[in-house]
Amino acid sequence: QASSEQVNSQQSINPLLMKERFYLEILKRGGKLPPGATLSSAALLQAGSTTLATATAPPPSTPPAPSPRDRVNPYESFGSTKTFSPEQEALWESNRKKREEKENEQEKPTRKPANPSRSRPTPAFTDKRRRHLVSVPLDRYEMTAPVWVARCPSGNGLLPTGLSMLVGDPGSGKSTLIRALVSCLSTGEGIFQVDKPTSTLFLAWEDDISSGILPHVVACGGDASRVLMLREVRDDRGETSLWTPTPDNIELLKEYLQANPEVRLVVVDVLSSMLAMGGIDSAGAEEVRRVLDPLHRLGQETGVAVLLVHHQNKRVGDKALTRVAGSVQVTGTARLVWLLANDPDNPSLRKLAAVKSNLPGRSQGFTFREIPTDRDEFFKRAQSLGLKAPESLPECLLRRLEVVDTAPTSVEDLLAPASKTIQEDCEHWLKTALNANAGEINSGELKQMAITDGIGERLLEAAKSRLRQIGLIHYEKRSGSWWIISSTHKEIAMASEVFDD
């Protein structure tokens, strides 16, 4: 009896028998067996009319199993059946996908991130082609003389092919000099020596064309039809954009010059505006060279002179090359750099001197002054060119150049401080101006008074520096910039008779 009970207990917990009982219950309820389920002959006889064909599950080659909503829930008791709702089926499917993704991630081998300090540097050249250097003997080159687009009144070279630069302070006469040069190139006549009449391409961003450049060129005796203004870049669809110093636009400029060989001069007025249009910092050496080097090659390949107009900085007393605003590379690329400034001894005269030259021989400048153009002559010339000039044009535009002296001027003499007598006179003038305004004067009014009395900007700055030693102070307030002498310093200065009563 004990052995029979032990056998019955083993049979009761036999998983195969439990599975057969479970399958029989499914068949009695009218359900279908899951895939791969089988029953023994005894179990089939116990099921009654159920045959082996109906009890066995479809083979793997048959269509997929029915939807879970038609299956019997195996977690329910034998006495009840339950199917999945659409919401439960969607939840079951999403959970199944999440489990599969998690298992796939766990099966992937984990790889440590690469150490950037140990990574190999990317090679500079990815091209696999083999390269080699090519050298050319010097005797295969042809000797040529420098090609000058324009010469000074004395016959010395003024503008060679390639990149040149004109540097000067505001109000030194740069615009007047350039427009007189352009006028001579357009007619072949004037104070500058040119081989034949040629055209000029202007890249101007500061001065107005209608009220500035055009009347000034006509006043200098130029042919306005030979002065071209570059305004925009236009594509095949008619869309326009401003010209900026990008590599593509410089290539377009080269194509334009090759298609128009009559253009021998390109004027950039001013360099700082051109760099700003391209988003380039004038103090960055690499950025400046990336613009000026292509312009220099453009001038040499097309036989055109490219003239850059630039400003000086305010570091009085420095060397000439360091007086140029921006990076040193600005002057390093140019073949010839000219300095235009007022005569230290005579502010009404302008002197042109060479700061740097990469050309054989010494470039020598000249001295000139501005003289008014006869108004009747100006209107007659404008009418001959088919232009209508208004009567209200200011006198400052109706001016031209007159050569005073063709003797060379050195940069050292041009930047040298004025003589002691002139400095003392300027200091005396500044003292008088301050005394007349109770020791306080507006910067703009002071500058205008100096221009009216014929005192140059450099002399005025030197006098201010001298009077700073006895208490002259510069400060800003809402009404503008002012120069003032403090009360304590003023009493000391007046007691020592520095300021005249």
Give the pLDDT band of residue 443 (cuts 50, 70, 90): confident
3-class secondary structure per residue, 341-358: EECCCCCCCEEEEEEEEC
Quote the CA–CA distance of 309 and 270 in Å, as a whole number: 5
Report the percent of the chain where pLDDT is more than 70: 72
Q: Which domains, from first to last, does the chain contain?
A: 2-92 (no CATH), 148-415 (3.40.50.300), 420-495 (1.10.10)
Taking residues 167-193, what's their average pLDDT? 90
Q: Which of 164-173, 211-220, 468-477, 482-491 has the lowest mean pLDDT?
A: 482-491
Select from 201, 184, 186 the least CA-distant residue to 258. 201
Confidence class for position 83, pLDDT limits 50, 70, 90: low
**For 197-249, how does the pLDDT look when each residue is reduced to its tens digit (9 = 90+)?**
999 999 987 788 888 899 999 999 999 999 999 988 998 888 999 898 999 99
Q: What is the mean pLDDT of residues 298-322?
A: 79
Read off the pLDDT of each residue in 454-475 and give the average, rounded to a whole number. 75
15 Cβ partners below 8 Å, 6+ apart?
none
Q: Which of the pair, 99 or 124, is modelled with greater confidence?
A: 99
Beta strands in 258-391 (DSSP E): 263-269, 305-311, 336-342, 350-357, 367-372
In this prediction, what percent of the chain has a pLDDT beyond 90? 21
User: In which residue are the tokens 């219950």 written?
Assistant: 25
